[in-house]
């Protein structure tokens, strides 16, 4: 039986991971959110720091969102952290601080979709729901030779039913862990280890030379270009930051004052723009330096970034704005996108 083969493989090959040492639904929840679109190797350190700082739902519910985002800094997809925090507060107030123990209730929580609900329901409560993630799509598509697109509504529904059938009467907790781990270590995206695979004899893709063609994805990602001009306004060891509050990338993270264009603009033209004049008027200032083009690539965007370092009396800028003046020593209190964090690290390094 396929489920037994996968489970046997798992029992002999599984990794020791911090979230596998607990049955606490809170910790399992945190790990599953972190692991969304994120590699295990990256998530481990973030997980340990997170649990250390927020050991329980109550601790997380009492925290400030800014603290949570700071712990999340560098992980990406920051809505995960915002939803995590919001959900902790809801569990605290509406569920008496107790993590819900049914699939349907878990699925209602912010930031939890069908995969994560099934993962938590099975790992923490051993409920029979097949957790279908990218690994499972890959494993099932290859074994059964399924050519339905994994990013179509029809395909998702079909794979969900196949996964449930494959799980059968196996223990949900073990089976879900096993098939995910099998996909992560053995049936990997590129150059899967078919030569040492215990399932190759019954694998459709292997026996029909389709391993490299499965799974099928229908959509293609397209990226757009944005042009960021960040103004690093400093005075001795102080500088200006602002909070990003629009529905865009990096919501509720901090950055320097930003002038954005949809096409590149020469620095001398930038000095003539309305934004620039509104910001500086006739104030006394010195352009300390202008960086070269820094390319920051996101999944759907290329950010062509220029950092303009200006030295001036920044206290004179503060009126009528949401800008905040902070000292280098306060950097650990504010969550920054990696693009900004990297620049700050360079600045601090050059001034100490």
Per-residue x/- track, 38-77, DNA (CB under 7 A): xxxxx-------------------------------xxxx
- CB of 253 or CB of 310, closer to DNA: 253
Instruction: Please report the DSSP string for 252-274 in residue order.
Output: T-EE--EEEESS---HHHHTTSH
Which residues, including other chains, have CB under 8 Å from residue 21's CB and lie 6 or more apart?
none
32 is catalytic: yes
Q: Is 78 in the site for DNA (CB under 7 A)?
A: yes
Helix, strand or coil, per DSSP, at residue 94? helix
- Which of 194, 285, 298, 326 lies at the binding interface for DNA (CB under 7 A)? 298
Helix, strand or coil, per DSSP, at residue 287? strand
Q: Is 79 in the site for DNA (CB under 7 A)?
A: yes
Neighbours of 192 (CB within 10 A): 21
Q: Is 181 in the site for DNA (CB under 7 A)?
A: yes
Report cis status (omega within 30 of 0) of the bond before 167: no
Q: Is 262 in the site for DNA (CB under 7 A)?
A: no
Helices (H), the chain: 2-13, 25-35, 40-53, 57-62, 65-72, 79-94, 103-108, 114-125, 134-144, 153-167, 172-185, 204-207, 267-270, 274-280, 338-350
CB 196, min distance to DNA, A? 16
CB 146, min distance to DNA, A? 15
- Which of 184, 240, 308, 312 lies at the binding interface for DNA (CB under 7 A)? 184
CB 192, min distance to DNA, A? 11
Of 16, 32, 65, 67, which one is the catalytic site residue?
32
Q: Are strands 301-312 and 224-235 parallel, antiparallel or unpaired?
A: parallel
- CB of 225 or CB of 267, closer to DNA: 225
Q: How many binding residues for DNA (CB under 7 A)?
A: 65
* Nearest of 288, 238, 230 to residue 259 by alpha carbon: 230
Q: Is 154 in the site for DNA (CB under 7 A)?
A: yes
For residue 182, give the DSSP letter: H
Q: Is 30 in the site for DNA (CB under 7 A)?
A: no
CB 87, min distance to DNA, A? 9
- Which of 1, 48, 98, 113 lies at the binding interface for DNA (CB under 7 A)? 113
- Residue 195: phi and psi, rounded to 5, are -70, -25
Q: How far apart are CA 1 and CA 6, in angstroms?
A: 9
Give the CA distances from residue 87 to residues 76, 83, 105, in Å, rounded to whole numbers and listed in that order: 19, 6, 12
Q: Is 152 in the site for DNA (CB under 7 A)?
A: yes
Q: Which residues here bind DNA, judged by CB under 7 A?
A: 17, 19-20, 31-32, 35-42, 74-79, 83, 110-117, 119, 133-135, 138, 151-154, 177, 180-181, 183-184, 189-191, 217-222, 224, 248-251, 296-301, 337-339
| Catalytic machinery residues | 32
């Amino acid at each position: 039986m396929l489920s037994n083969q996968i489970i046997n493989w798992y029992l002999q090959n599984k990794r020791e991971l911090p979230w596998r040492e607990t049955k606490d639904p809170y910790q399992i929840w945190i790990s599953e959110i972190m692991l969304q679109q994120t590699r295990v190797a990256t998530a481990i350190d973030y997980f340990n720091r997170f649990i250390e700082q927020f050991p329980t739902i109550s601790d997380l519910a009492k925290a400030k969102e800014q603290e949570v985002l700071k712990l999340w800094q560098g992980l990406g997809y920051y809505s995960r952290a915002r939803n995590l925090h919001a959900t902790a507060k809801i569990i605290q107030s509406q569920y008496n601080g107790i993590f819900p123990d049914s699939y349907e209730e878990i699925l209602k929580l912010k930031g939890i979709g069908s995969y994560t609900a099934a993962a938590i329901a099975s790992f923490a409560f051993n409920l029979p729901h097949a957790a279908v993630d990218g690994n499972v799509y890959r494993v099932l598509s290859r074994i059964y030779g399924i050519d339905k697109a994994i990013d179509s509504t029809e395909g998702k529904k079909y794979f969900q039913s196949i996964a449930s059938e494959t799980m059968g009467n196996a223990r949900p907790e073990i089976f879900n862990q096993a098939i995910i781990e099998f996909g992560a270590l053995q049936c990997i995206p590129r150059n899967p280890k078919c030569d040492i695979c215990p399932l190759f004899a019954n694998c459709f893709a292997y026996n029909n030379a389709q391993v490299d063609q499965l799974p099928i994805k229908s959509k293609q990602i397209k990226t757009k270009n944005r042009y960021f001009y960040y103004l690093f306004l400093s005075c001795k060891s102080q500088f200006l930051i602002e909070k990003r509050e629009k529905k865009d990338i990096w919501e509720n993270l901090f950055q320097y004052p930003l002038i954005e264009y949809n096409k590149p603009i020469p620095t001398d033209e930038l000095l003539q723009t309305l934004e620039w004049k509104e910001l500086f008027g006739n104030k006394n200032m010195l352009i300390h330096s202008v960086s070269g083009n820094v390319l920051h690539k996101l999944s759907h965007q290329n950010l062509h970034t220029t950092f303009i370092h200006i030295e001036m009396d920044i206290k004179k800028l503060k009126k009528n704005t949401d800008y905040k003046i902070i000292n280098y020593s306060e950097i650990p209190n504010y969550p920054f996108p990696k693009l900004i964090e990297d620049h700050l690290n360079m600045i601090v390094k050059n001034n100490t």
